[in-house]
Amino acid sequence: MRLAIIAVASAMLGISAFACSGTSGTDVWTNTGGTAGKSGAAGSAGLTDAGGQAGQPDGAAGLGGTAGAAAGGAGGTAGSAAGGAGGTAAGGTGGDASVDQSVDAIEEPVPDVPLETCFQYTCSADDRQVLDCWNNVVETCAETEICKKGFCKSACLVVEDDQSSVGCHYVPVDLDEHHGGSCFVAMVANTWPYNAHITVRRWNGTTMADLPVETFTRMPSGSGQSITYNPYSAATGIEPGKVALVFLAGAASGGVACPSGITPASPGSAVKKGTGLGEGFEIETDVPIVAYQMNPYGGGSAAVTGASLLLPNASGGKSYIAMNAYSSATGIGANASLNVVAYDDDTDVTFTPVAAVTGGSGVPASAANTPFTVNLRRAQYMQITQAAELTGSVVSATKKVGFFAGNTCAQVPVGASYCDHQEQMIPPVRAFGSEYAAVQYKPRGTTDPTRWRFVSAADGTSITFDPASVHAPITLNKGAWTEITSQTPFLAKSQDNQHPFFVAAFMTGSSQVGGAFAGDSGDPDMCNIIPPEQYMKKYVFLSDSTYPTTNLVFVRKRLSNNTYADVNLDCVGVLQGWQNLDSQGLYQYTRQDLVNGNFAPVGSCNNGVHQADSTEPFGLWVWGWGYNGTSVFTANVSYSYPAGANVTTLNNVMP
C-alpha cells in the first residue's frame, strides 16, 4: 500500500516517487502552486547526492536536500524556502495548494519508503549470488540452483528454459547397427561448478525402475591408451570438469564388448533390430550436464561405430523433418534407419513418409505420403529401418519427442568401400539456422572429398555459397534435400530465417581418400553442422582412447569491433592457426589434433577428458578415426559429434 500511494501521488505531481540510491532518509515531495509556504523542518536524508535547492516563489515548497553527510539546515519560510545545504535536509512543504486541489485532497500523509529497500535484485557475474542495488550479496544460491533475474532458482528448470544441449534429463537410445548390439555407453560431462549425481532408469514391465548406477558407471582417469576406469560413487557424483561413462548395454554375439570387469546395466544387447518399437534408458542428474552416446564405446578395432551429442528432453520438439544418416547399396545387409523417442507417456507421433514404410512390430505399413500414428509411452521409441530412404518425411507429435538419424552400416557414397554405422540426434525444425559455417575434419590424404547434405524446412529456400566456387546456388522446397562435394570449408546461407535448413557433413569411405597416408583412414560417418547462432562458450567432452587420430575443429565469428575472441583448449592454451572461412572473413576456423599417427600425443594433448572455452560463442566438433598403420587394428573406422549446441528457437516454420 505504501508504494501504491507514492506511485499515485507521484503520477499526479509529475515527479519520481522513489529511487534506488542513497543510504537512508525520506522521500522528497514538492507541490507546484500553493498560497503560502510553511517553514521547513530540519531535513533527514534525501534521495540523491545533490544539495537542497532554493524554494520556489508563490508559496512553493523548498525542495529538500538530498543525501549527503552534513545535517540539513532549517527549512525556508513561505515563498522563499531554501533547502538545507547538507544532504539530509528536506525543504519546507508547500501550503494548501489552490492550483491542484486533487492532490491536496489526499489528507493522509504519505509514509516513508526506506531507501535500503531495493526494488530489483540482480545476479552476480557467475550467476551464483543474488545482489541488491548496491551489489551487496543478498543470497548465495544452493549448489543445485542458479541466479536468474534476481532470484535463486532450480538450475535444472533454468536450463530447460534456456534450450541447449545442457540439461538434466536425457533418453539415450541404442540404435540399430550392423553387429546387432555392442558396448553402448552414455558419456556424462559435468559442466557445472559443483558435483553432479546420476540416476538411471529403464522400464521393467509396467514400472519405470531405478537401476543400481554404481555397478555400471565408471570414472575414466589418465589419458591415451593408459586410461583406467575407476568406480563411480553415488554419494560423491561427478566432479566439475569430469566425465562419467555410463555403460548401458552389452554386446550381442560378434559385437564389441565393454571393457574388462564392467557389467553394463543391460548385460545383453538393447538394440531393436529392424522396424518396430523399443525402449531407451532415462538419465537424470541433479545439476545441468552435457551428454553423448557412443555405440560401441572402445570401437577403434570394431570397424563399425558411431556417436552422437544428446539433446535433453526439454530441448526436444513436436515438429521434425525426418532424415536418415545415409543409404547403402542393396545386398550388403545394411539399411537406413531413424528413431523417434517419446519423453512422456501417451505421446502420439504422426509420421508422413515420403516413401512407403514396410512396417514392423508396433509400426504399421504405410504407402508414401500416407500418414500413420503410433502411441508411445515415456522413453519408448519408434524405429524404422529399411532400404528406402525417408529423408524429408514429416514428424509431428502431441508432446515433445527426440529424433535420431541412423544407418546400420552406411556407404558414402553408396556402393563405395567400406560401410560404417552412423548416428546423430537431429534438432527440431525450430532450431534450424539460415546460415552455416561448414568445416570438416582435417584431410585424411591429398584428396578427401567430404559430402555435405542440405535438408530444407520451407518452400523456396535459396542457398548460396561463399566461396562461390564451392557450388552454384541451390533452391529447395520443404522436405527436399541435396548433396554437394567439397574439400574446401564454406559459408552457406539462405535468404532469411524463415527459410531454415539443416546441414550435415559426411566422412566418405576410406576407399575415397587419395594420396599419401590415405591407408584405410576412417570410414563413413555423419556429423551435424551447428549454425553459429547456436554456438556455446564452453565445452567439456571426451575423446575415445581406442582411436589413433582425434581431430578437433573450431569455428569462431568476427565481433562487431572487427576482432576475434581467443579460444582456449586445456592442453594447448590459446589456439593458433586460424584461417578465414569466407571471402569477407566473417568466420575463421582452425583444427587441433589430440593424437595422430600410432596414438602419438600432440604436444600436451592426448585422448581423454578435455575442456575448451572462450569469452564469445564458438563451434567445436570432435572427429576420431583409425588407419592401417597402427600397432593394433584400427582401419576403416570413425566417429564424430558436435561437442555441444544451443537449441534455441530461430524460426517459426512448421513443416
**Residue predicted with more confidence, 561 or 421:** 561
Cell matching residue 122: 540482480
pLDDT for residue 324 is more than 60: yes
The pLDDT score that the predictor gives to residue 62 is 38
Per-residue confidence at 101, pLDDT binned at 50, 70, 90? very low
Q: What is d(CA 417, CA 327) in angstroms, rounded to the nearest whole number?
A: 13
Q: With contact defined as beta carbons under 8 Å apart, do 451 and 508 qualify?
A: yes
Per-residue confidence at 90, pLDDT binned at 50, 70, 90? very low
- 463 Cα distance to chain centroid: 25
Q: With contact defined as beta carbons under 8 Å apart, do 595 and 224 qualify?
A: yes
| Continuous H helices in 107-238 | 155-162, 213-216
Among 63-67, 116-120, 227-231, 426-430, whose mean pLDDT is lowest? 63-67
The stretch 451-472 carries a mean pLDDT of: 98
Region for 135 from its dihedrals, namely left if φ exceeds 0, alpha if ψ lies in -120 to 50, beta otherwise: left
Read off the amino acid at residue 604: S
Helix or strand or coil: residue 640? strand
Q: What is d(CA 294, CA 289) in angstroms, rounded to the nearest whole number?
A: 17
Q: What is d(CA 653, CA 630) in angstroms, rounded to the nearest whole number?
A: 48
Q: With contact defined as beta carbons under 8 Å apart, do 645 and 290 qualify?
A: no
Share of the chain above pLDDT 70, in %: 81
Residue that has been written with the C-alpha cell 501504491 in this structure: 4
Residue that has been written with the C-alpha cell 512396417 in this structure: 359
Helix or strand or coil: residue 585? coil
The pLDDT score that the predictor gives to residue 98 is 40
Per-residue confidence at 338, pLDDT binned at 50, 70, 90? very high
The pLDDT score that the predictor gives to residue 54 is 40
Residue 98: DSSP 8-state: S
Cell matching residue 254: 560378434
The stretch 512-516 carries a mean pLDDT of: 76
Read off the amino acid at residue 122: T
> At CA 471, angle to CA 465 and CA 474, rounded to 5?
75
Cell matching residue 306: 558411431
Q: What is d(CA 471, CA 484) in angstroms, rounded to the nearest whole number?
A: 7
The pLDDT score that the predictor gives to residue 577 is 99
Q: With contact defined as beta carbons under 8 Å apart, do 72 and 44 qualify?
A: yes
- Radius of gyration over every alpha carbon of the chain, rounded to an integer in angstroms: 32
The stretch 320-325 carries a mean pLDDT of: 92
Residue that has been written with the C-alpha cell 531535513 in this structure: 43
Beta bridge partners of 290: 166, 189
120-169 confidence digits (pLDDT tens): 899 999 999 999 999 999 999 999 999 999 999 999 999 999 999 999 99
Other Cβ atoms within 10 Å of 290 Cβ, number: 27
Q: Which of 367, 347, 197, 371 is nearest to 277 (CA)?
A: 347
SS (H, E, C) 488-553: CCEEEECCCCCCCEEEEEEECCHHHCECCCCCCCCCCEEEECCCHHHCEEEEEEECCCCCCEEEEE
pLDDT for residue 82 is more than 50: no
The pLDDT score that the predictor gives to residue 253 is 67
Q: With contact defined as beta carbons under 8 Å apart, do 366 and 384 qualify?
A: no
Alpha carbon of 473 to those of 86, 212, 271, 506: distances in Å? 72, 54, 41, 20
The pLDDT score that the predictor gives to residue 539 is 96
Alpha carbon of 343 to those of 169, 287, 354, 431, 648: distances in Å? 9, 19, 25, 18, 19
Burial of 336 (0-12, 13-18, 19+ CB in 10 A): buried
pLDDT for residue 356 is more than 90: yes
**Residue predicted with more confidence, 511 or 80:** 511
The stretch 73-86 carries a mean pLDDT of: 40
Residue that has been written with the C-alpha cell 529403464 in this structure: 202
Q: What is d(CA 89, CA 48) in angstroms, rounded to the nearest whole number?
A: 12
Residue 625: DSSP 8-state: E
pLDDT for residue 419 is more than 60: yes
pLDDT for residue 213 is more than 90: yes
Buried b (16+ CB within 10 A) or exposed e, 130-146: bbbbeeeeeeebeebbb
Other Cβ atoms within 10 Å of 262 Cβ, number: 18
pLDDT for residue 431 is more than 90: yes
Q: Which of 507, 317, 324 is nearest to 427 (CA)?
A: 317
The stretch 18-22 carries a mean pLDDT of: 37
pLDDT for residue 53 is more than 90: no
Read off the amino acid at residue 39: S
292-319 confidence digits (pLDDT tens): 999 989 877 777 789 999 999 999 999 9
Identify each DSSP E strand in 365-519 by its residue range: 372-376, 380-386, 394-410, 420-426, 435-438, 451-456, 461-466, 474-476, 481-485, 490-493, 501-507
pLDDT for residue 36 is more than 60: no
Q: What is d(CA 108, CA 540) in angstroms, rounded to the nearest whole number?
A: 62
Summary mean pLDDT of the chain: 84
Beta bridge partners of 140: 129
Q: With contact defined as beta carbons under 8 Å apart, do 418 and 302 qualify?
A: no
> Rounded to a whole number, what is the largest CA-CA distance in the chain?
104
Residue 365: DSSP 8-state: -
Cell matching residue 580: 578465414
Q: With contact defined as beta carbons under 8 Å apart, do 584 and 544 qualify?
A: no
DSSP annotation string for 317-359: EEEEE---S----TTSS--EEEEEEESSSSEEEEEE-SS-B--
Residue 343 neighbours by CB under 8 Å, 6+ apart: 169, 171, 313, 316, 378, 379, 399, 400, 401, 402
Cell matching residue 637: 573406422
Among 69-83, 518-532, 602-616, 627-641, whose mean pLDDT is lowest? 69-83
Q: With contact defined as beta carbons under 8 Å apart, do 64 and 90 qualify?
A: yes
Per-residue confidence at 519, pLDDT binned at 50, 70, 90? low
> At CA 75, angle to CA 71 and CA 81, rounded to 5?
135
> At CA 172, angle to CA 393 and CA 241, rounded to 5?
125
Q: With contact defined as beta carbons under 8 Å apart, do 509 and 518 qualify?
A: no
Whether this model's pTM surpasses 0.95: no
The stretch 439-443 carries a mean pLDDT of: 96
